[in-house]
Structure 1
Amino acid sequence: MDVGIPPMASNPRLLDFTTMARPKVHPANRLRASTACTACRASKKRCSGYFPCTNCIHKGRGRLCTPFKSLTDASTHSRPLPVSRPAEETPQTWSGQAVGLHSPSRSHCDDIATPNCEFETLQAGSHSPEATHRTHPRMLRNLQGEKVYVGKAASLSFLQLLRDTVMQHIGPSQFSHNVRNEDMLETEAHHDLLNFSEERCTADEKDRFIRHYDAVTRGFLNLGCGDDTLSASTSPTEPESDREKTKAAIIDLTVAIGAQSCPNDPQTVQIEQFYFARGRCRAFANMLEDPSLDLVRVFLLMSFYMLGACRRNTAFMYLGVASRAAVALGLQADSLGPMGREEGNEACERSQVWMSLCVLDLLVSSILGRPSSISPLLPDKRREPRWTGITPPDSGLVASYHLSLILDEIMSRLYTEKAASTEEAESLLRKLNGWSESLPQSLRRSSLGLDDQGVAQSRTIESMHVACSYHYAVILVTRPFLISALSVRLARLHQSLSTNEPTEMPEEDPAHSRLAAACIDSAVYMLQTCMEVHQSGLLLRNMCILIAFIFAAALVLGFSMFSHRDLDPETDEAYRGALTILRVLSLRSAQAAHYLEITTMLEAAIVQQRRRLSAQVRQQRNKYVSRIFSLSDSPVTPPRQTGEDEQASTATPLLTQSIPSYSWLQSDDGTAAVTPPMVDGTLFDWEGMDLPLWDSFPFLIESSTM
């Protein structure tokens, strides 16, 4: 029987088109590594792109895992080294130290090396021109199942990279496998039908909540409302005109934010939800028909409240409405310099509202890694703050405003490119250095000696917000170099502990080492500042922006601790301070509770990594004796467990063998000791930001088939 050629194969062009064509894949979703190791390239296996890679670690040849070096690629893609700077362009110093902040106490930073994807083309002691971004954008899902974008500058993207790294070096753990879905952690919105004509608290209680609002927003917001506007006694019960409704909404929202920052009790939670719901209803009464300065204030307040309520996507959208209303009013055309005392009240209010909008919008955009709606409206030539001899009316807001302008430059100059340049990073650090040197003394001095405790608390929180914003900006500048440096540190550490013949170590890059040290030091300084405020008893119970700062700093320190064999007491103490603050804030904030869960699991992975490295050092040091029996390594099946024993044994076996239990996380009866916040009258279930791994590793596939 004669078998004919299929009609499709009779046309070679048609065959090639139908068999070879495939849909385009977005660069952010591509899983192919930019550089493969020599072994994976020879065996034509997919390489994870980290060194040692997953395949080599799994097969016990991690010491031999090196990036594939192609002579053609090296000659084609090699770039000329940057010309050395003249003496007059030496980076400015921070308190007498170089830009890298290479503190003498940071002895563990001496063995930070260059990025593993670049060391083969660099000479020893040379400056690499850039560090390739290894954090990637994420697409998560909101409560409605819609995909939402999280950029590579976000802490969530850095968290995913850290999970992948931990997975490669210690295998499955609670930190790397705490992955339930791709949902972005958000709480349910409240849409209860309430009787808004009745007040839920007295005028004195309102004034107390408004004072809490003033403290929790110091350094971020100053809407220029005045004491008369933010007075509970002057608010009409039933406003009639749209203007009166908007002003009444401002009072309701300030009360809601103040109640949100108070300790967690059912009555305060009801007051918070009631006044926010009424303020939002009054804000939408005229359906945004007419832009006004009060309308910008209302949406800024609603955005800040939503950040504290763990509704960051909603807060981001409210900021967009506020920015469009501000553009319609021409706030961007006003003077952007520091406020002068000779300005009129109206010009002063417009300037305060515009600076508050810039600060909150640029901070939230950097935290989520999303483009800012304010950024295109900022001037090209941005003025440096000049406060010598004078103090602006709101020094905290003005300082945060000028810092937000530098933060916008960080996002546009570092995170819009494929790689971060060391020259750009040092230039931005010099700008941050100049900003810090221009700070007025009122933001540097302690206010604990004041007789009025309320004023002392507000000023202390204002100084803390400004200082932590500065440290967060430094972390964003230097974190790409920290990632590159610590990746090679792990490779060097793995090779140094190898029992076989030593191989050539990747060369260390001084420029990346200094920037990585600055990132670690900035995280330590931020957490030390927050711990001092916490120990003084002045920390409020829900501080939405501060929670994001603390989480970013904790991830940086966790990565450093995981990548080093020796202990650094100062770094370990700062990391424990982050856990302490998150534990306190978790009683009122769902965001802090989830961050506490993640950082606690990271701490467990660090303990496991340190024990593994100590065992390897011990084995390398003493070749004459070994341990021959251990219950944790016994393959004997344990007795059958029932009841509470089964509930207590659900943890990952890898962690239960090698780390102590955390008594504050789990009580004797297996229940959580830290009570999650109440949402809609029920306990909030943490299903949120646990992000899935990007790759399918060999031991994952094997374990899934068992």
Structure 2
Amino acid sequence: MPRPKVHPANRLRANTACTACRASKKRCSGYFPCTNCTHKGRGRTCTPFKSVPNVGLRSRPMPPSQPTVEAPRTPRGMRTDLQTSLISQSHDIGTPNPEFDAQEGSHSPEVTHQTHPRMLRNLQGERVYVGKAASLSFLQLLRDTVTQHIGPSQFSHNGGREDMLEAEAHHDLLNFSEECCTFDEKSRFIQSYHAATSGFLSLSSSDDIPSSLVGTVEPKTDQEKTRAAIIDLMVAIGAQSYPNDPKNLQVERFYFARGQRRAFANMLEDPSMDLMRVFLLMSFYMLGACRRNTAFMYLGVASRAAAALGFHADSPGSISPDESAGNNERLRLWMSLCILDLLVSSILGRPSAISPLLPENRQEPSWIGAAPTDPGLVASYQLSLILDEIIICLYSEKSASAEKADMLLCKLNIWSEYLPRSLRTSSSGHKDQSTFRERTIGGMHVACSYHFAVILVTRPFLITALSVRLARLHHSLSTSDPSEKVPEEDPAHSRLAAACTDSAVYMLQTCLEVHKSGLLLRNMCILKAFIFAAALVLGFSMFSRSDMDSEIDDVFRGALTILRMLASQSAQAAHYLEIITMLESAISEQRQRLAAQARQRRSQYVSRVFSLNDTPATPQTETEGDDEEAINATPLQSQSITSYPWLHLDGSATTVTPPMIDGNLFDWEGMDLPLWDSFPFLAESATI
């Protein structure tokens, strides 16, 4: 006899389990947060597995002092009473009230990461790791998506490269001596160094550099040799940022080679603050020299030296503003290391060396709020802590939660609300042009880092939303059954996707303003990676739209303009320029295809019969065989005029002149035939 049916209200088993308990196959209490998640300290992320109305969930009574949703922590030095009003505001990037976000995000399905880690090859053929948070992983996803919709192209074919583009190291001997570079030239290069690293590094000021080290006096003691290596590397970074003429190139290579030689002479034996400075400078230089793997390893040495010197163990509350300048110098060096290490790790998608050393509560030193000697450095440091939290919360898991994304965006908005005015605009009242350029570039670096953090938070949701949008667009233009069910966009995912696109637009608009003012340097090692990430986001958005957005198109072309300028002396920027240019061609082809499909759908009674340049479409006859042939025609044959002008309708090849793109011939002979054979819509074409 079967067991009598138990009413749901009388069941001992929870009607809905949380995501964590369901994944671990453990009994869930059904309350949110549940007992298991509360004991393990993850109550904030405890969400129901299925989207059910709030009335169907049993809510655990909360004490009055404990909020339902944990608000983001207010940075030290900020007034706590402003936190509630700040959270309740409507933020610039479109994030609604966090309390509403948490409720909506808990009912939105988690987004599975569609970007995957990649193993590329370095110059020596060794396989190197690139994580799923990296722009190169997002690029591979974008290539696959473009191939799926328009077929093989130069953009998708370029994805066959499995090498991580790096420049060769220069070990050739230069016919150059220190006397060839005057004292004024060295000072000018050091000023350029301060502009290039503004907002990222604060190792010393121009006033701290003694004239004896800038001159031709040979250092005697080990300490003097160490500081001389620091000056050499500063001069090399400054020369790297100047136009790439033979004299500047000689200065750059000579001073970096000498500084590197002095760095490896005897300083690796004992950790010191100067050792950290030297390896931070060498890492920054290697980023500009298109050698990211070397830069990543140098940052590891600097991080190990910081751990040996106990930088991570300094208690934030133990340092007061009136302490000696040595403590402030120590904290400035620590913040510089955190900023550069966390930025490079997020760009490459690799584990950070400094992240395990950070305190769990992520508090900044107490002197920051009291005596911010460098507001750009302080703002970048606070932002780097949030960036590390973004990587841990969103990219260390298999899926991204909309609730976590809302909380992270709220922290970013609170950070932006407290930016000082000096970082929001650059006053032109400075008497010294070099100081004006340094502050402008520093503000641009801070702003672009913020927009890059927003892109990292929202990009998984952009991928999901645009994939659904592409599916709906294809369905609306196809001749399939109108009653066929098509996927719907999740409102929370669409909102986060819009924030991703807006952040990319704001970043490129900021860079374009600085570029048009003539203040950009010739080598911007971090900025080119930011621009590439933003351009990929906008390119994906443009590819997924049937209409044109003039603002997005303008800033996308602006990204090409900046990369073209940087490509003159940066192989990495030149590679980025090549990729984005081919993406632009793929977008143009997608728009032509969509326009042709839309025109064919609305104009069923008329077709083009004559063209001076292209082969006109063959008019249909009323014979049964022609109708059957038309039905069974492959997409390649039916759209050969629009997408494949080098093929006749019968599939036979014809000899044509390769098209010109930006003055370069389109290399059809470089296409790999196995790439073409992997697409099912080419299976019926016997000539390919």
Q: Structure 1 length normalisation: TM-score?
A: 0.75
Inter-partner Cα distance in structure 2 for 1:406 and 1:389 = 17
> Is residue 455 of structure 2 the alignment partner of residue 509 of structure 1?
no
Q: Look up the SS of the partner of 2:157 in the other structure.
A: coil
Residue 253 of structure 1 contacts residue 275 of structure 1 at CA under 8 Å; is this kept in 2? yes
Match for residue 100 of structure 2?
A: none
> Is residue 278 of structure 2 the alignment partner of residue 298 of structure 1?
yes
Match for residue 533 of structure 2?
A: 552
Inter-partner Cα distance in structure 2 for 1:540 and 1:361 = 22
Residue 336 of structure 1 contacts residue 351 of structure 1 at CA under 8 Å; is this kept in 2? no
Inter-partner Cα distance in structure 2 for 1:320 and 1:409 = 20
Residue 609 of structure 2 contacts residue 617 of structure 2 at CA under 8 Å; is this kept in 1? no
Once the two structures are overlaid, the 10-residue window that deviates more, 388-397 or 595-604, is: 388-397
Residue 99 of structure 1 contacts residue 518 of structure 1 at CA under 8 Å; is this kept in 2? no
Inter-partner Cα distance in structure 2 for 1:634 and 1:353 = 69
Match for residue 680 of structure 2?
A: 698
Residue of 506, 513, 528 corresponding to 1:525: 506
Q: Alpha carbons of 1:633 and 1:391: their partners in 2 closer, same or farther (altered >3 Å)?
A: farther
Alignment of 1:437-476 (within 5 A): 437-476=417-456
Match for residue 566 of structure 1?
A: 547
Residue of 251, 256, 262 corresponding to 2:242: 262
Match for residue 601 of structure 2?
A: 620
Inter-partner Cα distance in structure 2 for 1:194 and 1:170 = 50
The alpha carbon displacement at 1:698 in A equals 3.1
Residue of 389, 392, 401 corresponding to 1:421: 401
Segments of 5+ residues of structure 1 without an aligned counterpart are: 1-76, 104-123, 637-651, 673-686
Segments of 5+ residues of structure 2 without an aligned counterpart are: 1-47, 60-66, 73-84, 97-103, 619-640, 648-657
Match for residue 589 of structure 2?
A: 608
Residue 338 of structure 2 contacts residue 354 of structure 2 at CA under 8 Å; is this kept in 1? yes
Match for residue 663 of structure 2?
A: 666
Inter-partner Cα distance in structure 2 for 1:359 and 1:597 = 29
Match for residue 355 of structure 2?
A: 375
Larger Rg: 2
Residue 106 of structure 2 contacts residue 402 of structure 2 at CA under 8 Å; is this kept in 1? no
> Is residue 459 of structure 2 the alignment partner of residue 482 of structure 1?
no
> Is residue 94 of structure 2 the alignment partner of residue 101 of structure 1?
yes
> Is residue 132 of structure 2 the alignment partner of residue 161 of structure 1?
no
Q: Look up the SS of the partner of 1:139 in the other structure.
A: strand
Q: Look up the SS of the partner of 2:239 in the other structure.
A: helix
Give the counterpart letter for 1:79 in structure 2.
K
Residue 95 of structure 2 contacts residue 409 of structure 2 at CA under 8 Å; is this kept in 1? no
Q: Look up the SS of the partner of 1:140 in the other structure.
A: strand
The alpha carbon displacement at 1:243 in A equals 1.7
Question: Identical aligned pairs, as a percentage?
Answer: 68
Number of matched pairs: 575
The alpha carbon displacement at 1:78 in A equals 6.3
The alpha carbon displacement at 1:593 in A equals 0.8
Q: Look up the SS of the partner of 1:206 in the other structure.
A: helix
Q: Look up the SS of the partner of 1:392 in the other structure.
A: coil
> Cα deviations across residues 154-201 of structure 1 (Å, max 9, x unaligned)?
000000000000000011111111245311000000112357864441
CA RMSD of aligned residues (A): 3.6
Residue 150 of structure 1 contacts residue 370 of structure 1 at CA under 8 Å; is this kept in 2? yes
The alpha carbon displacement at 1:349 in A equals 1.1
The alpha carbon displacement at 1:90 in A equals 9.3
Match for residue 32 of structure 2?
A: none
Give the counterpart letter for 1:613 in structure 2.
L
Q: Alpha carbons of 1:337 and 1:516: their partners in 2 closer, same or farther (altered >3 Å)?
A: farther
Q: Alpha carbons of 1:381 and 1:179: their partners in 2 closer, same or farther (altered >3 Å)?
A: closer
Match for residue 79 of structure 1?
A: 50
Inter-partner Cα distance in structure 2 for 1:417 and 1:195 = 53
Match for residue 58 of structure 1?
A: none
Inter-partner Cα distance in structure 2 for 1:470 and 1:425 = 15
> Cα deviations across residues 424-458 of structure 1 (Å, max 9, x unaligned)?
10111111111111111111122223232111111
Q: Alpha carbons of 1:90 and 1:625: their partners in 2 closer, same or farther (altered >3 Å)?
A: farther
The alpha carbon displacement at 1:697 in A equals 3.2
Alignment of 1:298-447 (within 5 A): 298-336=278-316, 341-383=321-363, 392-447=372-427
Match for residue 74 of structure 1?
A: none
Larger helix percent = 2
Match for residue 627 of structure 2?
A: none
Inter-partner Cα distance in structure 1 for 2:378 and 2:552 = 32
Residue 242 of structure 1 contacts residue 285 of structure 1 at CA under 8 Å; is this kept in 2? no
Q: Alpha carbons of 1:497 and 1:78: their partners in 2 closer, same or farther (altered >3 Å)?
A: farther
> Is residue 171 of structure 2 the alignment partner of residue 175 of structure 1?
no
Q: Alpha carbons of 1:535 and 1:230: their partners in 2 closer, same or farther (altered >3 Å)?
A: farther
Match for residue 188 of structure 1?
A: 168
Residue 477 of structure 2 contacts residue 601 of structure 2 at CA under 8 Å; is this kept in 1? yes
Residue 340 of structure 1 contacts residue 392 of structure 1 at CA under 8 Å; is this kept in 2? no
Q: Alpha carbons of 1:232 and 1:513: their partners in 2 closer, same or farther (altered >3 Å)?
A: farther
Give the counterpart letter for 1:626 in structure 2.
S
Inter-partner Cα distance in structure 2 for 1:449 and 1:534 = 19
Give the counterpart letter for 2:497 in structure 1.
A
Inter-partner Cα distance in structure 1 for 2:122 and 2:54 = 48
Give the counterpart letter for 2:585 in structure 1.
A
The alpha carbon displacement at 1:125 in A equals 12
Residue 163 of structure 1 contacts residue 693 of structure 1 at CA under 8 Å; is this kept in 2? no
Inter-partner Cα distance in structure 2 for 1:603 and 1:125 = 34
> Is residue 198 of structure 2 the alignment partner of residue 210 of structure 1?
no
Q: Alpha carbons of 1:423 and 1:416: their partners in 2 closer, same or farther (altered >3 Å)?
A: same
Q: Structure 2 length normalisation: TM-score?
A: 0.77
The alpha carbon displacement at 1:508 in A equals 2.4
Inter-partner Cα distance in structure 1 for 2:609 and 2:676 = 38
The alpha carbon displacement at 1:94 in A equals 9.4
